[in-house]
Amino acid sequence: MPRLAKFAWATLVVNVAVVIYGAYVRATGSGAGCGPSWPTCNGEIIPGGLEGARVVEFTHRVTSAVAALMVAVVAIWVLRTFEKGHQIRTAAWLSGIFIISESLVGAVLVLAEWVADDASAARTVMVPVHLVNTFVLLGSLAMLAWWASGRGSVRLGAARGFGWYFAASLFGLVVVSATGGVTALADTLFPPESVGDGLSSATANAEHFLTRLRVIHPVVAIAIGAFTAWMAWTFGAGAEKRLTQRLAIAIVGLVALQFFAGMSNILFGTPVWLQLTHLTLADLLWLSLVFFGASAMETEPVPV
């Protein structure tokens, strides 16, 4: 595998890890660990007294900076290596654009103090925006790594009748991630003491609006998850390429695991480790779907 491909895959893995760690920052209420200061931490480049929430938030900023630097390097590397017209250049530009917007959204959350215990409507809007931006970023990096590895270009009409179903699944998972972000925020700020408590707070008029929004995610996730699994199995199980078949099986399996993880979160009161597991599975499902679509609509692979 060429060095560029190896670095592209490493960049994708590092960014997934940073996303998961970012969820840990939110779940532990450590987002205000550096105060309303960005990109510095409490006005210092390397702050003293690194402990508790401060060390969690500062670590997240350092790892985010490393991830952003890797995206910049791989994007520039691609633009200098591939000629105009190659699809990988689009993935490189999108990766660069969305890593910048990812950083800016994070900065806004910190500077506006929409972190820690803040339960404002503004934060409720920004959290799903942040997650949607993250999904687009990871999808762009995934396709960059795909083409850097010598895979063929993707033609939307290559698989007849597939494009619309695939697009619906992509959009559906974006919606699931957005509603999941709101639910995760509600679980962090207003953790239910039991399943019954969670259900009653979701319908009680006196409860905070975030707790009432919590019920939306499971309903949307079940519907979109079932559709995505059906789509993958329908178009992938009998595909000619072994890779497409394996990705279809992976998608069905990940959807099943997500259902199990989601129910476990509800039953066990959303412990942090289970929240992170749920997000990790969501990222893997998203990436598997992106690669599934690329494989199904791929022309003949072209050597790099």
What is residue 195's predicted lDDT score, i.e. its pLDDT? Answer: 53
- pLDDT exceeds cutoff 50 at 302: no
Q: What percent of the chain has pLDDT over 70?
A: 91
* Torsion sign across C-alpha atoms 53, 275, 211, 102: positive
What is residue 194's predicted lDDT score, i.e. its pLDDT? Answer: 55
Angle at which helices 242-268 and 272-296 cross, to 10°: 160
Q: Which token pair is 21?
A: 């760690």
Query: Which of helix, strand or coil describes residue 303?
Result: coil
In the chain, domain spans: 1-150, 156-304
Q: Where residue 86 falls among pLDDT bands split at 50, 70, 90?
A: very high
pTM across the whole model: 0.91
Tell me the average pLDDT across 272-294.
Answer: 96
Instruction: Report the alpha-carbon distance of residue 252 to residue 231 in Å, rounded.
Output: 9
How many helices (H) does the chain have, and how many strands (E)?
Answer: 10, 0
pLDDT in tens, 166-218: 999 999 999 999 999 999 888 888 887 655 455 455 555 546 778 778 889 99
Query: First-to-last CA distance in the chain?
Result: 10
Residue 252: its H or E element:
helix 242-268
Q: Which of 26-40, 241-255, 282-296 has the lowest mean pLDDT?
A: 26-40
- pLDDT exceeds cutoff 90 at 269: no
